[in-house]
Chains A and B, each alone.
Chain A
Amino acid sequence: MSLFSRFMDGWRKYRKPGYYDEFDYHWTMTIDLDKCTGCEACVTACQAENNIPVVGEDEMAKGREMQWIRIERYWEGEYPNAKLSFIPMMCQHCDAAPCETVCPVGATYHNQDGLNAQIYNRCIGTRACAVYCPYEVRYFNYYDHEWDSPLEQQLNPDVTVRGKGVMEKCTFCIQRIRQAKDVAKDDDRRRVQDGEMQPACVQTCPTKALVFGDRKEHESQVYKSMNDPRNYRVLDELNTDSSVFYLKKVDA
């Protein structure tokens, strides 16, 4: 294909919501708010898996926290009827992502597995994507981060250690997806089975509030979970077509 026709092909795909007529896998996560206890095991698991730096007290005071998955707290009511709800929030991997449209260099795009991808070495750090993201789930590296030796021995070699000037966010543990696909390819070129691979947060959640899988597979746990009558998507009215479904918290 000539360069021009390749360009036009890509342009046409890009203009279609979600780019693709059909996804190869369509990775989806559901979060049951009736089960989430706010224990933050997912937060620490994600930090360990994805080489997320510890930014320190000063940066935290400036609001520059670095947590690809964070727990938000919402208080309602007054004593003695005060109630606290927790909601884990990470990149929603929107099929119609606002962040993908604004990146001037194309460092973020939607891939054929339904993932919103962030390519670190293409990013030039305009931070427009963080502004466009309605969920505020994109985090910027304002500094080159350091690990007090020997804490760097713990770093995951399957994940890039990001330098200064680069945006980062939840990837649904793409390194684990890649490895699961590798294992599946060895095993007679089959597809990745339900439950074979889970992001770090899903794997560690002690109440099993997080469920992950391929929604194209109708037998999967995530497909059943996302079709639960309690399901909804956060800020759905913005039509971001996110891939994370939440199950409403039950008042009883």
Chain B
Amino acid sequence: MPNIDRREFLKLVGAGGVSVGAGFMLREANKDPREYLIPHVLAPEDFSSGLDTFYNSVCSMCPAGCGISVRTREGRAKKIEGNPAHPVSQGRLCTLGQAGLQALYNPDRLTAPMRRTGEGESASFEEITWEQGLKQVGDRLDLLRAARRGNRVAFLTQGVRGHLAQLFESFMRQLGSPRLLHYDFDHPHTLYAANQQFFGESRLPYYDLANTRLLLSFGADYLNNWISPVHHSLGFGESRQGRADVRGRFVQIEPRMSISGAAADEWIPAKPGTEGILALGLAHHIVAEGNYNGADLGAWTNALADYTPDAVAEQTGVPVNSITRLADSFVDTTPSLAIGGGAAGNHSNGVDTLVAVNALNYLVGNIGQEGGLVLNPEPAGPAVQQHRASYSAMVELAEAARQGEIDILIISGTNPVFTLPPAAEFAEALAQIPLVVSLSSFLDETTALADVILPSHTYLESWGDDFPEPGVGFSVGAVSQPVVSPLYNTRGTGDIILDLARRMGSSSVMPWQNMEEFLKYGWRRIYQRGDSQTLAQGFDAFWTSVLKAGAWGETTNGSTAFTLNPDVIAGIGVAPPEFSGSEEDYPFILHPYLSPNFHDGRGANLPWMQELPDPMTSVVYGSWVEVNPVTAEEMGLSEGDLVDIQSPHGQLRVPVFVYPAIMPNVIAIPIGQGHGEYGRYAKGRGVNPIEILSPLLEPITGNLASSATRVNLTPTGGRVKLVKTGGVSRDLGRDIVQHTSLGVEVSSAADNSIPITEVTT
């Protein structure tokens, strides 16, 4: 036995004890963390653990109204897909629609009613109960209504359709107030006005892209965010490669290549605001060549006399032979279709431009035809176009507020402080309204100025319905049902309005307890339009079948017969566009465009959308200004250089992106970033080009001519690194994207050694 003295012995005992403990803890630390199995208290009826449950609903991320099918697992929404049964989406969905899950589970959602406390710099929001919030607002509403001063209440909502729109209308009628405004930045006012003028229709027609063989798009970014992008993409795919013997051809006319421009076979840059003049130039050539033989030929010849190819070429910058070639192919290819809108409609001549586009369709006789422009039937549900507010209506509202005519403003789902230019002075006007109530789900810029916040559910937690606009040529409707239980202490927008209606004593006129009940009431009328088989099953079975299918349709078609009012022809003509500022002081034209990721800014609080590379530039997490390569070289600008963009109404600082497909005197900035509020992902990131827009109007509709602001560009000498996924081309001469020409047969698939030189660009 070796000699160990006491000290050593104690040391060994101590070390031994510690190591026993360490060994014990070593195994303990390597154990999996304890997990719990939490059962239900009552077994649920509508789902089983481990299995998916699908709910059909309607997407609300943009105004198109695509039907969706949401996969849920144990009460949580996991994935949104398009609903195959819905005619608008047909099982497909766009990128913003997929990101709707992040709107539902967003960390920056408003979780409970709140009230503003304090003033100015020290103002903050404190949480209140629903009873407190509803009572505060309801009491004021009741007072005004009783005193017959209900017209001092204004209601500002995002564009909604269906029974929620009807609910808003009833509510305001009870108050006796005409101040109901549906405001969206991207609402195509000029398109509606042009259709009203030309067709006498208050609805948009159905543009049958799927069956067309040649599409001329005058500025309409139909694949991205022009009225119904998923449906148009479906039509595009079908037209391009969905038919065995025919490949549809697409031509895009715009000053800056959009996504639709990239997909087009031909991109034609035309000076901003001259798209309508170009359309009439094509029309002139069609008539002059004797390709139109209608009874009103004389009227057309007169109306189009000034739009000779030479005159049009000078005004638009499009060469004469392009004009004649396009016109000839538009007539020779049958069916062909012309559409217009987007930036082209947002000029001082916007309505006339889109009337000119309609004229092209008329002259080739595609109205009511397959592959052309089909007039839609009356929607089965409520349609409330008359409350759509243009820029001038919003300015009027702001003015009324400044004059002290508004006591209460209720805002639902729209963010005018962000989407209106500061020239409208809307934020200042809000300060003049004693009670501003926001029903938003997020603390956006407008909600941050509210006095009371009564937060709504997101669309995935709400009851609602939609009758898509534009329709698809026949009547379609869908019910939007909750796919998960509400996450927070929020309520459905419809439920809030019904509650307020009760509090102002309107429960006899609006007796429904909640939105679901009101929807069922409204859909009873639709049920009664059904055939005998539908009526035989009873309303409850009908309602269940509509929810299960996620779509309802009816084969009433719009009218195919159409006669044009001769006065319309006489009024056809497009004046050159007006711009703000002088050309010497402001040599560039600003082309703001709706970002595919953020739409009008609503998607900026979704991390997936911030991280999604912009389809054209691949930039993430920021803003940029697109500059033509020759212009950039002349000004000594390269990518990342910070420049000051100044308009007659404001200034921005933003980095440069050298963009190969934009006119030399046009610069473009995406809309969507530049939020001052709206959560951690959106706040303080990028710039908002709406901030520097000049308040130029289209006179007929009062629409903001958002593409008509002139700016100048000043390098600052500063640089930032633009974060993007593109950059050095991965192609490296390896022909990753291969092209072919029509009619060239390539060797069959069995032998995949296709020679690299077979590229025909």
Touching chains A and B, CB distance < 8 Å: yes
Name A's B-contacting residues (CB within 8 A). Answer: 32-35, 37-41, 43-45, 47-49, 54-57, 60-61, 63, 65, 67, 70-80, 82-87, 136, 148-151, 153-157, 200, 203-209, 226-237, 245-252
The answer to whether B613 touches A71, judged by C-beta atoms less than 8 angstroms apart, is yes
Assembled-state Cα–Cα distance A33/B736 (Å): 11
Stretch of B121-129, B150-158, B283-291, B744-752 that contacts chain A? B744-752
User: Once the chains are docked, how many angstroms separate the CA of A151 from the CA of B97?
Assistant: 16
Residues of B near A82 (CB, < 8 A) are 257, 267, 660-661
With a cutoff of 8 Å between Cβ atoms, the chain A residues found around residue B236 in the complex are 35, 37, 207
State whether A150 touches B107 (Cβ < 8 A): yes
Q: 13 other contacts beyond A35-B237, A150-B107, A151-B102, with CB at 8 A cut-off?
A: A39-B259, A40-B613, A60-B723, A82-B257, A154-B76, A154-B77, A154-B105, A203-B81, A203-B92, A206-B234, A227-B750, A233-B752, A237-B756
Residues in A with CB closer than 8 Å to B132 are: none
Cross-chain contact B736 with A87 (CB below 8 angstroms): yes
CB distance from B148 to the nearest CB of A (A): 46
Q: Are B608 and A54 in contact (CB under 8 A)?
A: yes
In the complex, the answer to whether A156 meets B107 with C-beta atoms within 8 Å is no
A-B interface, 6 closest residue pairs, ranked by CB to CB distance from nearest: A207-B237, A206-B233, A82-B660, A44-B98, A82-B661, A84-B262
Nearest residue in B to A84 (C-beta to C-beta)? B262
A207-B236, A230-B746 in contact; A32/B741 too (CB < 8 A)? no
B241–A35 contact, CB under 8 A? yes
How far does the Cβ of A11 sit from chain B's closest Cβ, in whole Å? 28
Complex A-B: 12 CB contacts under 8 Å: A35-B240, A39-B223, A41-B92, A43-B95, A57-B723, A65-B613, A73-B618, A148-B607, A205-B92, A206-B233, A234-B736, A250-B739
Judge if B395 is at the interface, Cβ distance under 8 Å.
no
- If A60-B725, A204-B98 touch, whether A38 touches B262 (CB-CB below 8 Å) is yes
Give the dominant DSSP class at B's interface.
loop
Chain B, 716-761, CB within 8 A of any chain A CB: 721, 723, 725-726, 729-731, 734, 736-742, 745-750, 752-754, 756, 760-761
Q: Is the CB of B734 within 8 A of A235?
A: yes
Task: Given the known inter-chain contacts A157-B73, A248-B738, A251-B739, please indicate yes or no for A75 contacting B240, CB distance below 8 A.
Answer: no
Residue of B nearest to A249 (CB): B739
**Measured between alpha carbons, how far is A55 from B607 in the docked complex, in Å?**
10
Given the known inter-chain contacts A37-B223, A60-B620, A151-B607, please indicate yes or no for A85 contacting B737, CB distance below 8 A.
yes
Bound CA–CA A122/B628 (angstroms): 50
CA A79 to CA B269, docked complex, whole Å: 9
Check B249 for interface membership: any CB of A closer than 8 A. yes
Given A44-B612, A227-B749, does the pair A148, B661 have CB atoms closer than 8 Å? no
Chain B residues with Cβ under 8 A from A37's Cβ? Answer: 223, 233, 236, 259-260, 262-263
The answer on a CB contact under 8 Å between B760 and A251 is yes
Residues of A within 8 A of B748 (CB): 227, 229
Asked if A44 and B95 sit within 8 Å, CB to CB, the answer is yes
Please report the C-alpha to C-alpha distance between residue A179 and residue B234 in the assembled complex, in whole angstroms: 28
Known: A37-B262, A82-B660, A252-B247. A57 touches B738 (CB 8 A): no
Instruction: Give chain B nearest CB distance to A63 CB in angstroms.
Output: 8
Considering the complex, give the chain B residue whose CB is closest to the CB of A66: B611
Contact A249 to B749, CB < 8 A, known contacts A35-B236, A40-B613, A154-B78: no
CA A55 – CA B725 in complex, angstroms? 13
Q: Known contacts A35-B241, A43-B612, A84-B257; decide if A61 and B234 are in contact (CB<8 Å).
A: no
B611 touches A55 (CB 8 A): yes
Q: Could you say which interface size class chain B belongs to?
A: 35 or more
- How far in angstroms is the closest Cβ of chain A from B685? 9
| Complex Cα–Cα for A75 and B661 (A) | 9
Q: Which residues of A contact B260 (CB under 8 A)?
A: 37
Contacts of A228 in B (CB 8 A): 749
Bound: A61/B727 CA distance, A: 12
With CB as the reference atom, state the residue of chain B lying closest to A72: B730
List B residues 594-622 near A (Cβ within 8 Å).
596, 607-613, 615-616, 618, 620-621
Residue numbers in A under 8 Å from B662 (CB-CB): 79
Give CA–CA (A84, B737) in the complex, Å. 10
Query: Which listed residue, A72, A73, A78, A154, touches B102 by the CB 8 Å rule?
Result: A154
Q: Assess whether B105 is in contact with A73, with CB atoms less than 8 Å apart.
A: no
**B472 CB–A CB distance under 8 Å:** no
Which chain B residues border A86 with CB–CB below 8 Å? Answer: 262, 615
B629 touches A (CB below 8 Å): yes
Within 8 A of A (CB), among B238-275: 238, 240-242, 247, 249, 257, 259-260, 262-263, 265, 267-269
Q: Which residues from A are CB-within-8-Å of B257?
A: 82, 84
Task: Collect the chain B residues with CB atoms within 8 Å of residue A157's CB.
Answer: 73, 78
Max chain A C-beta neighbours (<10 A), residue from B73, B77, B611, B754: B611
**CB-CB < 8 A to A229: which residues of B?**
745-749
Instruction: Tell me if B423 counts as interface (CB < 8 A to partner A).
Output: no
Q: Does B577 touch A at the CB level, under 8 Å?
A: no
Knowing A60-B723, A233-B752, A251-B761, the reply to whether A206 touches B661 (Cβ < 8 A) is no
CB neighbours of B607 from chain A (8 A):
54, 148, 151
For residue B680, which residues in chain A have a CB less than 8 angstroms away from its CB?
148
Q: Determine which of A40, A77, A78, A83 lies in contact with B612 in the assembled complex, contact meaning CB atoms within 8 Å.
A: A40
**Contact mask for chain B residues 16-41; partner A; CB cutoff 8 A; 1 contact, 0 none:** 00000000000000000000000000
Interface string of B110-143 (1 = CB under 8 A from A): 0000000000000000000000000000000000
Q: Are A79 and B660 in contact (CB under 8 A)?
A: yes
Tell me if B81 and A204 are in contact (CB < 8 A): yes
Q: Say yes or no: A156 contacts B78, CB within 8 Å.
A: yes
Q: Judge whether B249 and A74 touch: CB under 8 Å.
A: no
Complex Cα distance, B749 from A162, in Å, reads 37
Q: Does B456 contact A (CB under 8 A)?
A: no
Contacts of B242 in A (CB 8 A): 208
Residue of B nearest to A47 (CB): B608
Distance between Cα atoms of A3 and B454 in the complex (Å): 68
**Contact, CB under 8 Å: A156 / B740:** no
Q: B281 at interface (Cβ–Cβ under 8 A)?
A: no
A210–chain B nearest beta-carbon distance, Å: 10
Q: With a CB–CB cut-off of 8 A, which chain A residues contact B618? A: 73
> Is the CB–CB distance between B237 and A71 below 8 Å?
no
Asked if B102 and A153 sit within 8 Å, CB to CB, the answer is: no
Q: Does B94 contact A (CB under 8 A)?
A: yes
Contact of A206 among B237, B612, B747 (CB under 8 A): B237
